[in-house]
């Protein structure tokens, strides 16, 4: 049984090893062969070509996290649409209603976010109060 398993997954494993090996070799080679002339500017974090103005590890505004979270939520939910679309013809009305329910629940979440002001980048004072 285990032999079978190894056989079945062998190509995958080989693929993985080759990919890892290749990238490792390229990295090592470039650091060995390439020329290095470090200057102070070069060692600084890349900031669109401009001289950095402060420490990179600053606290971000919480709004960024909010947007990121909201994005992930709705993005991941959208993934479900692909398999659904694939079998949509077979599922017919059942599939349609199921997805309708699903979207409706998402919509409820969306309305909630909207009304809560999570989508406003610059919430007015009153909205901010209601948020807390």
The one among 67, 70, 73, 91 contacting other proteins by CB under 8 A: 91
Shortest separation between residue 44's beta carbon and other proteins, angstroms: 35
Shortest separation between residue 72's beta carbon and other proteins, angstroms: 15
Shortest separation between residue 61's beta carbon and other proteins, angstroms: 17
Instruction: Based on the shown chain and the rule CB under 8 A, indicate whether residue 15 belongs to the binding site for other proteins.
Output: no
Instruction: Based on the shown chain and the rule CB under 8 A, indicate whether residue 1 belongs to the binding site for other proteins.
Output: yes
Location of structure tokens 């997954």: 9
In Å, how far are 14, 67, 90 from 18, measured between CA atoms?
A: 6, 38, 41
Instruction: Based on the shown chain and the rule CB under 8 A, indicate whether residue 128 belongs to the binding site for other proteins.
Output: no
Per-residue H/E/C for 48-105: CCCCCCCCCCCCCCHHHHHHHHHHHHHHHHHHCHHHHHHHHHHHHHHHHHHHHHHHHH
Instruction: Based on the shown chain and the rule CB under 8 A, indicate whether residue 63 belongs to the binding site for other proteins.
Output: no
The one among 46, 82, 93, 121 contacting other proteins by CB under 8 A: 93
Residues of 78-99 as b/e, b for ≥16 C-beta within 10 angstroms?
Answer: eeeeeeeeeeeeeeeeeeeeeb
Judged by CB under 8 A, the stretch of 13-21, 55-63, 67-75, 89-97 that binds other proteins is: 89-97
**Nearest residue (CB) to other proteins, 92 versus 128:** 92
């Amino acid at each position: 049984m285990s032999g079978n398993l190894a056989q079945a997954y062998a190509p995958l494993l080989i693929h993985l090893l080759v990919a890892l090996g290749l990238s490792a070799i390229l990295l090592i080679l470039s650091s060995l062969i390439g020329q290095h002339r470090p200057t102070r500017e070069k060692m600084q974090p890349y900031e669109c070509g401009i001289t950095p103005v402060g420490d990179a590890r600053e606290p971000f505004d919480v709004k960024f996290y909010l947007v990121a979270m909201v994005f992930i939520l709705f993005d991941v939910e959208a993934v479900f649409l692909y398999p659904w679309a694939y079998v949509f013809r077979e599922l017919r009305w059942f599939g349609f209603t199921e997805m309708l329910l699903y979207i409706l629940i998402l919509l409820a979440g969306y309305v909630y976010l909207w009304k809560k002001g999570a989508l406003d980048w610059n919430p007015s004072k009153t909205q901010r109060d209601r948020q807390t």
